[in-house]
Structure formats: structure tokens, C-alpha cells
Amino acid sequence: MNSGSGFDAGSKDLTVLFVDVSGWTDLCARIGDAAAKLIVDSLLRELREDVERYTGMVVKRIGDELMCLFNTASDAASAACEMQRRADVRNRFEMEKLFLRIGFHSGPVLIEKDDLFGDTVNTAARVTAEAFRERILATRMAVERFPEELLPLVRPWRSAALRGKGASVELVELIWREGDGTFVRSRTMIMGTKVRCLRLDYNGKEFILEAGGKPIKFGRGGTNEIVIYDPTSCVSSSHGQVEFRGGIVEVVDTSRNGIYVVFDGEPPFRVNKRLALLSSGHMTLGRPPHDPEAISLQFTIE
């Protein structure tokens, strides 16, 4: 890369971010390739401004996706939030809505000529592939580089078995919307201290999952460790389980109707396959927490 870019050639500890325009294929089908390209081109030019505002650079465009490079994870996070806000404002006034998926990872990067290479780049691309539209996902490794003031933007997401990785990678989500709720925790709470056990309470009965212990399954079926009584059948026979994975406790959703988690003092959100459980709170099975018929399990991490 040229000397004016601010990034030196060679292997460095940098942050690679991918931003992908969701719905490109559908847009082409609706209005034609040429018209769709003009719209996407316009948005990507604006996103480039956000990248540069936070001292990053767009390395290259890959179809409807940008590969970006930042000196710090905090710059990448700030740019990612700004890009999502820009797209959100745009969608309020445009008939053709465009949504973004963003993911990033930090680590050594090999820079040669005008391209990036290495495991950090591959991981960042795969993190982005895990994201849904309007989401920003990052690896735990990237978030560990955040300054204290950015930690309230972070909430747990799940561990993912990324292609090419021998072990699952812990992912987190960044909150970018005003009023979407922030998850204020200490650095050790976000990153995860050493967890000894999980305590679950259902109808006054306590179940304990210890480190290294067998997963605790829950659902209507009689073979579960926690058998849930639900005459409405919103709870599946095998609804989910809690398990230790990589030193943290995760809830795994195997149901038809979902699992909702509420950490104490924070807004609820729905589990996407897996979610790391931190601190304490409750989960509801098959129904959102505001539903008066929702069945709840209390949890506490120790």
C-alpha cells in the first residue's frame, strides 16, 4: 500500500472489517442489474467516507462488499456504527431499502501491494457471514482491545464454528441504534471471568451445571433434565440446553418457537442458535418475556 495510507507493509496487529450490502440479488431481480448497481454504488461511496472519517481505509471492493482496514478495533467499531446509522437514515427516505451486515476481527495482517492476506482477514470475512442484516458482529479478540468507554456498546451473541477454525469463536454484537439499549458491564464481565457453575431455577426447583458437567436439557419431553409443563405446546419437546463451551456457559436453542433472554436490567432479545450467558437474568421459552403466559427459567452465573 502507498506510504500515505498510514498502514505499513508487513505483518501488524490491525483490524479488518467487512461491510456487505444485504439484498443485492433481490434488488437486481426487481429493478435490473444496471439500476441496482447505481444505487449500491452510491451507498458504498458514502460508506467509504465513514471509514475514512475514523482513520480507516477501504482496501478494495468485492461486488457489493467492502474490505476495510483500521489501526485499532475501536476505530473499526465507531466506523461500523456510523455506517449502520447512515444506512438506517437512508432507508427512511428511499423506496429501495438497502441493509448492511458488518463483521470485524483483530490480529496480524499481511499487507502486500494493494491487498490483505492471512488468518485475520479470513476470520473477519467469516464473522461477517454470520451476521444478519442491520447487525455488527465482532470477535471477542477484537473487543478485548476496546477502551472502557466503548464497552457499553457490547452484548453477547454466541459462539460460532467458523469454517476453517478448529475451535468455536466467541462473537459479540455491537449496539448501534439510539435507544436500542446498552449493556453496561465491567471489562471482566464482558470478556468472561472464570465461571464455576450455572444455577437454573424452574418452578422453585434448582438445577446446577458445573464446569465440565453434562449439558442440562430442557423441554416438554420426559427425557429432559428439566421437564417443562406447557399445555399450549409453545415449548418444544426438546427446546434447548445449557452447556459449558470454551470456558463460558451457553444456551443452545433447538426449538420451533425460540428462546428469549433478559439479563438483569437490560432489554430482552431472542437467541440466535447460541448465546453466552453472563451474570444473571431469566429466559422465556417459546414466548417473549412480555407475554403473561411465558414460561421462565431464572439463571445465575457464579
Per-residue model confidence as pLDDT tens digits over 247-265: 678 889 999 999 998 887 6
The three grid cell numbers given for residue 68, joined into one nine-digit string: 476495510
What percentage of the chain carries pLDDT values higher than 70? Answer: 84
CATH 3.30.70.1230 boundaries in the chain: 3-189
* Most confident by average pLDDT, 6-10, 84-88, 179-183, 238-242: 238-242
pTM of the predicted structure, to 2 decimals: 0.62
List, for residues 222-240, the tens digit of each pLDDT value.
Answer: 999 999 999 999 999 999 9
List, for residues 69-125, the tens digit of each pLDDT value.
Answer: 999 999 999 999 999 988 888 888 778 888 999 999 999 988 887 888 888 999 999
Q: Which CATH architecture has domain 3-189?
A: 2-Layer Sandwich (3.30)
CATH 2.60.200.20 boundaries in the chain: 197-301
List, for residues 162-173, the tens digit of each pLDDT value.
Answer: 666 656 778 888
The distance of Cα 128 from the centroid of its chain, to the nearest Å, equals 9
Per-residue pLDDT at 186 exceeds 70: no
Predicted confidence band of residue 190 (pLDDT cuts 50, 70, 90): very low
Q: Which CATH architecture has domain 197-301?
A: Sandwich (2.60)
